[in-house]
A and B are shown apart, each in its own frame.
Chain A
Amino acid sequence: MKRAFGFLSIAGTVALLVAGSTAASAQTPPGGTADARAISGAKAYMQAKGLTSLKLNMMMPSIFTAGSTLEMTIFEKETGIGVNYFEVGILQVQAKAMSEAVAKSGSFDFWIGDPISLPDLVEAGLARPIDDLVVRGKADLDDIVPGFQEQAQYKGKTYGLVADGDNFILAIRKDLIEAPGERQKFKAKYGWEPGCPDTYEQWYQLAEFFTRDPKGTGVPELYGAMGYRARGWGWRWWLQQFYAKGGMPFDDGMKPLVAGKEGVEALRDYIALTKFMPKDILGWATPQAYPFYAGGNAFSIMTYPSIAIAAEHPDRSKVVGKNKYCLVPGYVVGGKLVRRAIQGYGNIFYVSNYAKHPEAAYWLSQYMTSKEVSARLVAGPNSVYDPYRKSHLTDPRVIKARTKEMVEIHLKNAQVMAPMILIQGAVEYNDALDLNVQEALLGKITAEDALKNTAAAWEKITNQIGRRQQIEGWKALKAAYPTKNVPD
């Protein structure tokens, strides 16, 4: 009896201590800013666990490494929490994450990934809801431009902190449109003053005019346009044009609508513009496209906003100060101009459900995405993190790295930002679209057939996953589409 009482009293004391420490750790950590709170929270976590140093495991898309490690080192110096990261190609993040969802090994605590894979990774049990930690840490969500953080939400829960505002922007060469003689020649030919194009037709005209091949070699000295057309990438550029045509991927019953008039016309325009792009564009993504534009080899490029980092880089760019950043062009639909900027990637910090230290991973995520640190990341010389906060608009470091015009235009584009297809099976839907769009681009099939094939593949995917469930997902996603035709 005495022994039983002794055991009970020890158990009671332990329970009280645990409850006490939980209550203490559940309080908002001290600090006036989100990054300070993240550091305090991380320190408290280390103290509670009795640790002096800790290495978190992270899956890092290789393109983010150079722009991220400095801030991670600062966080480690402050808190003792460092990062062992392993790099993967940005298009391989989904597959790696899926394999972890099956293995449940805890091989990484957190990762940077796109919102496309979010529904699948939640359903697979990998992505951890972080609402409790967001509330506790008072993460800086208040000044995020509407439309970005929403992409980290699924079925009413928050699964990540947005780190990257990836809606597309159009950059054109200001020095060339302002060159003496060029304006007059252009106006005489097309009937309008050259500048930022309002429509895709105008962009086509600019691209045609500024493609320069004086020797007729078929390898122009200056290419008129650039956009991504490679496998795994090109579908996003088509989808943006399709949205601007007024197109929507599905109706309310998840019947695909891509094969309609809007889709076919958008695909024809997408293919037509490609003739002013470098011949190898079907194999290019960011590592090839940015240096090519920054090398002064193209008149215009529709791409991610981090193009400004490459184009305005004082040492690496030949076109510093020669760029004009434009609202994305659109189409005239029913007599009104409709512009759409697709959120073409939009990376997010996710925490794994199988993380050994989910809370520590969260604090680092909060630190990296706080107002102050995100501004440093967005302004970094190797950064592919793009502005997504209102505060970035006025931050002198961001403006210096990217120009004021670029940041303003980028956040204006965000007013007409449309999401990618973010429902369960998104990767498969997008892959079917991507494959067919590229087959049409290669001339293997017609635009009509490409989109009919896509629609048929989408129907199959919907039926396999379950139509009722997909209708629910699509209904939720539809609310994220912009209602404005053009930005204010």
Chain B
Amino acid sequence: MTGLRRWLERERVFRWLPFIPVQGLFALLLFPNFLLLVYLSLLSWRITRGTWWNAAFTGLDSFQRALEDERFLWALARTFGFAAAAVPLELLLGFGLALLCRRHFRGRRFYTTVFLLPMMIVPAVVGYDLSMLLIDQGPFNQLLSLLAGRAITVRWLSEYTPAQLAVIGADVWQWTALTFLIFTSGLAGLPEDPIRAARVMGASRWQIFWHVELPLLKPVIAIAVILRSMEALKIFDYPMLLTQAGPGNATETVAVYLWRVGWEFARVSDAAAMSLVLLVVVAMYSFVAIRVLRRERRRLAEEGVA
């Protein structure tokens, strides 16, 4: 008994104890599904062709089909494109709003709540509402016309580039709230000493921000980038609700295409192989991002500010 207690009290063991329930849940819920996914990807199973446990084993055929499927590869590229456009915008806007709300002013709490609201709305509702707002003679174009002083009739839902912008815009509108939240807590948690020291040494407000605060915020920025990028790569609701992933395939993201292949076309093995390809790509991206995050943390620890 004392041996077990001693073992449990060892720092390395104790540190991991709180994670056991979460990891256990992960192992129980996700790991079997993941194994099944891998297994399905090695079969040639369609939902319309009997049960999966009787399906023929065809090795890597589904992967070959996935990598030869131009529509899948374009959907993958398009999704990364959307993420590359949306995430920096969300970071910039979220950061800007967090800086604004950092100051003490009347109504600060109210604005903070307002900025966080979009995040609370179900993405499907956002997509549906925007599909009404963005029709060519709808409220959004009317507002633009009012601001521009001339008739604006952008076809947000029926032309290639505007439809893509609409999808990116929807993502930015909803998820800037999350980056705002991350940066607000990041800014609140900045250590006072280095900032005070810089001020004593006569640094300007801008110098303090650029040379002290921003470097200190790098881990927070990295977290925001990782979280938002991973989410943006799963974008599904907006393209489906705004345009049925059209016009043409202008807004067909990889999540939409996977859904179509699996549930509309009943090609489950192909969808499994495609989702594993996507998993590898996202894992590679996350690996690089986490390395950057760790490096920044290590650097700050060495500098004694974190």
Summed over the interface, the residue pairs from A and B with CB atoms below 8 Å come to a total of 101
The reply to whether B265 and A425 form a contact with Cβ atoms under 8 Å apart is: yes
A449 within 8 A of B: no
Most buried by B among A94, A217, A281, A283: A283
- A residues 402-440 with Cβ under 8 Å of B? 424-425, 427-428, 431, 435, 438-439
Q: Are B157 and A120 in contact (CB under 8 A)?
A: no
Quick check: A123 and B49 within 8 Å, CB to CB?
yes
A91: nearest chain-B partner, CB-CB: B244
Residues of A within 8 A of B158 (CB): 230, 279-284
Q: Which of B106-114, B218-226, B246-254 contacts A (4 or more CB under 8 A)?
A: B246-254
Q: Is the CB of B248 within 8 A of A98?
A: no
Contacts A91-B244, A95-B263, A279-B153; is A124 near B249 (CB within 8 Å)?
no
Query: B184 at the A/B interface (Cβ < 8 Å)?
Result: no
Q: How far apart are the CA atoms of A102 and B244 in the complex, in Å?
A: 24
Q: In this assembly, does A101 line the interface, its C-beta being within 8 Å of a C-beta of chain B?
A: yes
Q: Taking each of B245, B248, B249, B263, which has the highest tally of chain A beta carbons within 10 Å of its own beta carbon? A: B248
Determine whether the beta carbon of B155 is less than 8 Å from that of A120: no
- Taking CB as reference atom, which chain B residue is nearest A425? B265
The answer to whether A435 and B248 touch (CB under 8 A), given A217-B151, A279-B136, is yes
Q: Does A99 contact B (CB under 8 A)?
A: yes
Residues of A within 8 A of B247 (CB): 230-231, 282-283, 438, 441-442
- Is A272 interfacial (CB-CB < 8 Å)? no
- On chain A, the residues within 8 Å of B159 by CB distance are 282, 442
* A232 contacts B by Cβ under 8 Å: yes
**B246 x A230 contact (CB < 8 A):** yes
Q: Is the interface of A mostly helix, strand, loop or mixed?
A: helix
Residues of B within 8 A of A428 (CB): 264-265, 267
Report how far A435 CA is from B71 CA in the complex, Å. 11
Interface residues on B, range: 20 to 34
The contact size tier of chain A is 35 or more
Whether A316 sits at the interface, judged by CB under 8 Å, is no
A135 to chain B, nearest CB (A): 27
Would you call A9 an interface residue if the criterion is a C-beta within 8 Å of the partner chain's C-beta atoms? no
A219 touching B151 by the CB < 8 A rule? yes
Q: Is A444 in contact with chain B by the CB < 8 A criterion?
A: yes
Looking across the interface, which residue of chain A has its beta carbon closest to that of B259? A95
* Known contacts A98-B47, A101-B47, A283-B158; is-contact A230 B244 (Cβ 8 Å): yes
CB of A84 closer than 8 Å to a CB of B:
no
Give complex CA distance A281, B265 in Å.
Answer: 26
CB distance from B242 to the nearest CB of A (A): 8
Residues of B within 8 A of A464 (CB): 267
A427 in contact with B264 given A101-B47, A279-B155 (CB within 8 Å): yes
From 44 to 91 in chain B, residues with beta carbon under 8 angstroms from any chain A beta carbon are 46-49
> Residue B243 contacts which of A95, A123, A219, A283 (CB distance < 8 angstroms)?
A283
Distance in Å from the Cβ of A359 to the closest Cβ of chain B?
A: 26
The residues of B that contact A281 with a CB separation of less than 8 Å are 158
How long is the Cα–Cα vector from A91 to B263 in the complex, in angstroms? Answer: 12
Q: With A and B bound together, what is the CA distance between A95 and B260 in angstroms?
A: 8
The docked-state distance in angstroms from the alpha carbon of A218 to that of B154 is 12
Whether the Cβ atoms of A280 and B136 lie closer than 8 Å is yes
CB of A435, distance to nearest CB on chain B (Å): 6
Most buried by A among B47, B137, B151, B260: B47
Of all chain A residues, the one with the shortest Cβ separation from B51 is A125
Q: A123-B48, A124-B47, A279-B158 are in contact. Are A231 and B245 (CB under 8 A)?
A: yes
9 closest residue pairs by CB, A with B: A231-B246, A282-B158, A283-B157, A123-B48, A95-B263, A231-B244, A280-B136, A428-B265, A283-B158
30 A-B residue pairs with CB within 8 Å: A94-B263, A95-B259, A95-B260, A98-B264, A102-B268, A119-B48, A120-B47, A120-B48, A219-B151, A230-B244, A232-B246, A279-B153, A279-B158, A280-B136, A280-B137, A282-B157, A283-B157, A283-B243, A283-B246, A284-B158, A425-B265, A428-B265, A428-B267, A431-B265, A435-B248, A435-B249, A438-B248, A442-B159, A444-B248, A464-B267
Known: A230-B158, A280-B135, A424-B48. 12 other contacts (CB 8 A): A119-B48, A217-B151, A219-B151, A280-B155, A282-B157, A425-B48, A427-B264, A428-B264, A428-B265, A435-B249, A438-B246, A442-B248
